[in-house]
Amino acid sequence: MSSTINNLNLQDLPSASDMRVGIVVCEWNSHITTPLLDATVDTLKQYGAKPEHIMVRTVPGSFELIFAANQMVKSGLVDGVIAIGCIIRGDTPHFDFIAQGCTNGIAQLNATGNIPVIFGVLTTNSVEQAVERAGGTLGNKGEEYALTAIKMIDYARSYER
């Protein structure tokens, strides 16, 4: 196994065997979000996460990820949350509003919360770009989301007393 994936250092990566990970995934653009979710779950398991410690919930679209992630954080049932979505640019400014709102909302959760919320939202100019990042020629970003969650949960735990 390589010691890096897209510049993420995998050396000294902790086991995820005692980590509880919540995943919220949007139904919109499910042809993209489903492969991202599958790669995320597979990678968490590959690094030791127990299937019963992975909580997956769906929401209609990427904007709703903010509320869902916040509910997971507040539940106390998870050590970290991964928010998975896909926003593809169209002919109207809708893309800009949703992408900015989603980014700001998840950033706010990270700035004010006690557990990490991983930004797993693709923002692309075309369906083809999204496909390339969800198992196509550029790999699957779901792997990165899982590895980032493991690293950030470990980081957050380093501050526990």
Q: 94 an active-site residue? A: yes
| CA angle (145, 151, 154) in 5-degree steps | 135
Task: Please write down the HEC assignment for all residues of 79-94.
Answer: CEEEEEEEEECCCCCH
The β-bridge partners of 80 are 21
Which residue in 4, 77, 94, 114 is the catalytic one?
94
Q: What share of the chain is helix, strand, coil (3-state, %, to 5)?
A: 45, 25, 30
Residue type, 123: T
Rg (C-alpha) for the chain, rounded Å, is: 15
The β-bridge partners of 26 are 59
For 65, residues 6+ apart whose C-beta sits below 8 A from its C-beta are 24, 26, 59, 83, 84, 85, 102, 105, 106, 121
Which residues are tagged catalytic?
94
